[in-house]
Structure formats: C-alpha cells, structure tokens
Amino acid sequence: MAPITQRREIDETLVLKRRWITLALLTLTYFFSFMDRQILAILLEPIKRDLSLSDTQLGLLSGLVFAIFYATLGIPIARLADRTSRRNIIAASLAVWSVMTALCGVAQNFTQLLLARVGVGVGEAGAGPPSQSIIADLYPPEKRASAMAIYSLGVLLGGGLGIMIGGNVAHAYGWRAAMLVVGIPGIVLALIVRLFVAEPRRGLSDVQRVAEEETEPLPSMWRGFLAMLHNPAAVHLVAGMTLTSLVGYALTGWGPSYMQRSMGMSMLTVANYIALPAALVGGASALLGGAIADRMAKRYGLHAQAWVIAAMKTIAFPFAVSFYFFDSVPVALGAYFVSLLFAGVYLGPTYALIQHLAPLRLRAMWAALTLLMVNLIGLGLGPLAVGRLSDLMQPALGDQSLRYAMLAVAMMTPVPIFLYWRAGVLMRRAAD
C-alpha cells in the first residue's frame, strides 16, 4: 500500500503545481461561455430589423429561453459531476454550446434562432458547477476568493470582448457571420480542455474536512438542496447574487441597444470604444475584489467578504443610476465606468463563500443550485423584464422607453446590498 500512497501523493503534488494551467483553461472556457452568450447584446438591433422582432421577443432570446434550459439542466449535470470526471463534462459541454452558437448564425426566423439558443443553454449548463468544484479543490479557503475572481474574469472579459468582436464582424459581414466567428473556435478549445485540465481529488485543499466527511455517503440531490436551504448564510448569499445578476443581466444585455437608441452611438462605436474598456474595468474590479476579500477574510474572518461586497455595491449604486439621467454622453459614460469599477467585485467572493459553506461532496451541486437561481431568475427575467417594460412604455415615451425600463430595474440594487450584509452577520454568528 505504501507505493500506492506515495504515487498518489506525487500525483497530487503535480496537480497542485500545475493548478494555474487548470485555472487558466477554466477561465478561458468561462470566457467563451459568456462571449457566446452575450454576443447577442450587440446584435439585438440588426436581428430586430432582419427578423422583424419585438423587444419582448428579443428579451426572450437574451434571457428566459436560454436560462430555463441552462439553469434546470445544471442540476442533473452537477450531480453527475459530483460522481464522475468533471473535466470530461466541461469539455463535452463546451463543444456542444460552441456548435449551437454557430448554428444561431444560420437561423432564418425567430423559431429557429430560439431553438439554437436553447442548444447554447443546454451546452453551457455543464461548465460552471464542475469548474467551480475543481477550483475549490485546488485552492485552500484563504486563496479561494482570489482564484474565483480570476475565474470570474471569464464573465467580464467574455461579455465585453464578445460585444467588441461581434460588433466589428457584424458591421463588416452581418450578424450571422458574427455568430459563426465566436462559435467555431470553442470546438478546438474543448479538445485542449480535455487534454490539459487536471481532475483533482475531491477535497484536496480541505484536508481536515476530508477527514471529517470522507466516511459519509454521497447525500441525495434532495438532501443537498435541503442542506443549502437550512444554511441561512448560504440562502442570503444566493439571494443576493440572484438579484445582483437580475439587475446585471438586464442592464448589460440591453446596454448596447440603449447606447444606440438613446445616446445616439453607432454599433461600431459601442463595440470598439465601450466594450473593451468596460471589460477591462470590470476585470480589474473582479481581481481587486478577490484580493481585498481574501485580505479582509485573513484579518477579520470569512464573513468580512460578504461585507466587502455590500460596501462596494453601495458605492457603485448612485453611479449606475445616474448613468440614465445624464444627457451629456461623456459624463454619462464616466458614471458608467465608475459603477463598473465597483460592481464586479461580488463574483469571486460570492462563488468562494458558497463553495466554502458547501459540503465537500456537494460542491458542484451547490454551485448548480446557485446558478439555477441566478440564471432562471437573474438571466431569465432580467432582460425579459426590460424588454417588456420598454414595450409597455413605448406608446407614452417613444424612443426613451428603454431608458426608463432599465432605470426601473437598476433601482432594485439596495435589496441585494442588504442581503449580502445580512449574510456576513449570519456567518459571523455561526463562527462565534
């Protein structure tokens, strides 16, 4: 038995030494996920003209249709990931959604585009939970928020660069070509992920918890759900992230359209001069947030990470709202970028805290439950709510209906601020 144990220790040491490769590839996979998902934001206006769609239909394509399949299929796939190879699931999922994104480019009507978006949602359902589970096994609690913040760069850079690439390709060759350009490279990346992403032992970075939990059988899916439901801090974190995502998906999903309709910008201007700087500012926000959260956790305890999020969101809120009031484009954009600098902080620390609170053998399941709420409610209802409100306000407000629809959703932000603050209070009480 000694040689077997020694070989396992050597393998685990190698996995930990090369964990940066795994983190980089998982971040790149997340990047492609959001690029393929959010490219629709810059293409809404040409798709609306080409296929004669309403804002409500665009909201369905941007959010609810995608989110239903993405969120609900994430649960059984996460269950599979808690039992089998997470790396293989991620690679297969990446291949599926990349093919379906390319097929969006050949859709000839609303129904065909809707079905292709369903396929994108089905594919992307298998990437997030297994990725978070792998990262949690590779990085200990004191480094996990920073690692998750790096992983969350995929959200911010993927969405921003997707808009930039999509806008430029659509301007030159049409929106269909843009879908093909961002979809096809993901198939190659799927092979690279399969070959080079590590599959660490579960609980590799939580030695003490492994000793406590290794003799316990794998809980059922229902018990996994109840375990989260009976953890008040986890409930508040998931609720806070869900509402934050609802506001975020609504505003980023319609942001390029708003800049074109209400601010008089062209699609190319938004793609080249707004998307990339916004992605870089958001990425800096995520990295800064992860570093601050880890430092505060080391000094005051993990509960302080939830308070960091609440504080940063409080600073961002007035700038995010004022963006819709300024008539001056430079001033409005200034407020927009300041809000982005603080708004992206929540991603890494929230993912890290939920993985910390989750039982070791349910990490993928808890990640999937979180994404179920975030995407079914946040992604599913956020863009749809803006589209529906815009259609309802259009008779009275004309071209400005989108402005006030987005403002109405932005005003929800104080609710998740309270939820994050409360999560920190509950975590501190539990630690005492």
User: Which of 186, 250, 182 minimizes the C-alpha distance to 39?
Assistant: 182
Residue 214's CB is within 10 A of a number of other CB atoms, namely 11
DSSP letters, 101-161, are: HHHHTT--SHHHHHHHHHHHHHHHTTTHHHHHHHHHHHS-HHHHHHHHHHHHHHHHHHHHH
> How far apart are alpha carbons 6 and 26 in whole angstroms?
28
pLDDT at 214 (0 to 100): 52
User: Which of 148, 124, 96 minimizes the C-alpha distance to 355?
Assistant: 148
CB-CB contact of 344 with 309 (8 Å)? no
DSSP class of residue 204 equals T
> How far apart are alpha carbons 305 and 289 in whole angstroms?
9
| Tens-binned pLDDT, residue by residue, of the chain (432 aa) | 444 444 444 467 777 778 889 999 999 999 998 888 778 878 888 888 888 888 888 877 876 777 777 777 777 887 788 788 899 999 999 999 999 999 998 888 888 898 888 888 888 888 888 898 899 888 887 788 888 888 888 877 887 888 888 888 988 898 899 999 988 999 999 999 999 998 888 777 665 555 444 555 556 667 777 888 889 999 999 999 999 999 988 998 888 889 988 888 888 888 888 888 888 888 888 888 888 888 888 888 889 999 999 999 999 999 999 999 988 889 999 999 999 999 888 888 898 899 888 887 777 778 778 878 888 888 778 888 898 899 999 888 888 899 999 999 999 999 999 999 999 999 999 876
CB-CB contact of 423 with 302 (8 Å)? no
Domain 16-196+220-431 CATH (choose: 1.20.1250.20, 3.40.50.300, 3.20.20.210, 2.60.40.1220): 1.20.1250.20
Residue 52's CB is within 10 A of a number of other CB atoms, namely 10
Where does residue 266 fall: left (phi above 0), alpha (psi -120 to 50 degrees), or beta otherwise?
A: beta
User: Which of 279, 278, 49 minimizes the C-alpha distance to 170?
Assistant: 49
∠ Cα 107 112 118 (to 5°): 110
Query: What does the CA dihedral 190, 194, 197, 202 come to, rounded to 10 degrees?
Result: 120
pLDDT at 5 (0 to 100): 45
- CA distances 415 to 242, 247, 350, Å, are 11, 11, 16
DSSP letters, 27-44, are: HHHHHHHHHHHHHHHHHH
> How far apart are alpha carbons 41 and 45 in whole angstroms?
9
Q: What is the per-residue burial (b if ≥16 Cβ within 10 Å, else e) of 68-104?
A: bbbbbbbbebbbbbbeeebbbbbbbbbbbbbbbbbbb
pLDDT at 221 (0 to 100): 67
What's the token pair of residue 352? 């890290």
∠ Cα 247 25 295 (to 5°): 60
pLDDT at 319 (0 to 100): 95
* Element counts in the chain: helices (H) and strands (E): 22, 0
